[in-house]
Amino acid sequence: MTNYSGSKCPSCQGTFFETVVESPTNSNYKLQFVRCSSCKTVIGVLEYFNVGALVEKILLKLGIN
Ligand SMILES: [Zn+2]
């Protein structure tokens, strides 16, 4: 992912990030980790299922804008 915001890895100061799907021990759900492309330090965790996109689909089906 190209980074235009100036975000930096807290570990190596790298400026490239990637996401990977993981199933951590004791987690019932897959999670999407955002991590530094060079040193693999995890910066953030997202839900694997994109809740925002799901809600949008439901709203469209219900005819709500
Ligand atoms: Zn890094």
What residue spans define the domains of the chain?
17-62
What is the mean pLDDT of the segment spanning 31-43? 95
- Protein residues with C-beta less than 5 angstroms from the ion ligand 1: 9, 11-12, 14, 36, 39, 41
Beta bridge partners of 50: none
**Residue 53: pLDDT band by 50, 70, 90 thresholds?**
confident
Q: How far is the CA of 28 from the centre of ligand 1 (A)?
A: 28
The number of residues in the chain equals 65
- Asked if 3 and 17 touch (Cβ cutoff 8 Å), the reply is yes
Instruction: In the chain, count H helices and then E strands.
Output: 1, 3
CA of 29 to the centre of ligand 1 (A): 26
Strands 31-36 and 17-22: antiparallel
Contacts of 5 (CB under 8 A, 6+ apart): none
pLDDT in tens, 5-28: 899 999 999 999 999 999 989 988
